Amino acid sequence: MVKVTYIAHDGTETTLDGAEGDSVMATAISAGLDGIVGECGGSMMCATCHCYVDDAWSDRTGPRKDGEDDMLDCAADDVKDTSRLSCQIKLTAELDGLVVHLPSSQL
């Protein structure tokens, strides 16, 4: 299992156990976490799974995937250097302990 901590806009922290290969988005959705919508199911058709990767982890999550920049352009909240679509971050053993921050809104 890979632990992922989601820090909501209001500061609430939720730590979930994800499976290797699952995305940060899917892990949140399957636990019913509010704050990530994932409307298109990870098809890169929306920007409703926007997250900010914690500074301590952004090297390990790597650069944005092809097309991610373009989708993030339509994110509801500010896009920062650490902004990612959480459907495009796949969990690996190296990401155990990952921390992501959630925006104030996804729509």
Partner 1 sequence: MSGVSEHVVIVGAGQGGLQAAMSLRTEGFTGRISLIGEEPGLPYQRPPLSKAYLKTGAADALTLRPAAFFEKHDITLVTGTRVDSIVRDTGHVLLGSKTLGYDHLILATGTRNLRPPIDGLEHALDLRTLEDAKRLRKELDRPRTCAVIGAGFIGLEFAAVARALGHKVTVAEAAQRPMARAVSSPIAARFAEMHLQMGTRLCFGQAVKEVDETGIHLPDGEKIDADLILLAAGVRPNVELAQAAGLPCDNGIVTDAQLQTADPAISALGDCAVFPDPRTGRLVRLESVQAATDHARTIAKRITHGTATPYAAVPWFWSDQSDLKLQIAGLAFPEDDCIECENGSVLRFDGDALTAAETINNPKVHMKARKILALQAPPGRDTLKRAGYDLTLI
Which residues here bind partner 1, judged by CB under 8 A?
Answer: 22, 26, 29-32, 39-41, 43-45, 67, 70-71, 73-74, 107
Token digits of residue 84? 């990612």
The nearest distance, CB 76 to partner 1, in angstroms, is 13
State which residue, 57 or 102, has the beta carbon closest to partner 1.
Answer: 102
- Of the pair 8, 40, the CB lying nearest partner 1 is at 40
- The residue among 26 and 53 lying less far from partner 1, judged by its C-beta, is 26
Give min distance, CB of 11 to partner 1, in A. 19
Distance of alpha carbon 90 from alpha carbon 4, whole angstroms: 11
CB of 15 to partner 1, least distance (A): 16
Short-list 43, 55, 107, CA closest to 80: 55
Give start and end residues of each alpha helix (H) in 41-91.
58-61, 68-72
Nearer to partner 1, 8 or 97 (CB): 8
Q: How far is CA 31 from the centre of its chain?
A: 14
- In angstroms, rounded to a whole number, what is the distance separating the alpha carbons of residues 98 and 107? 24
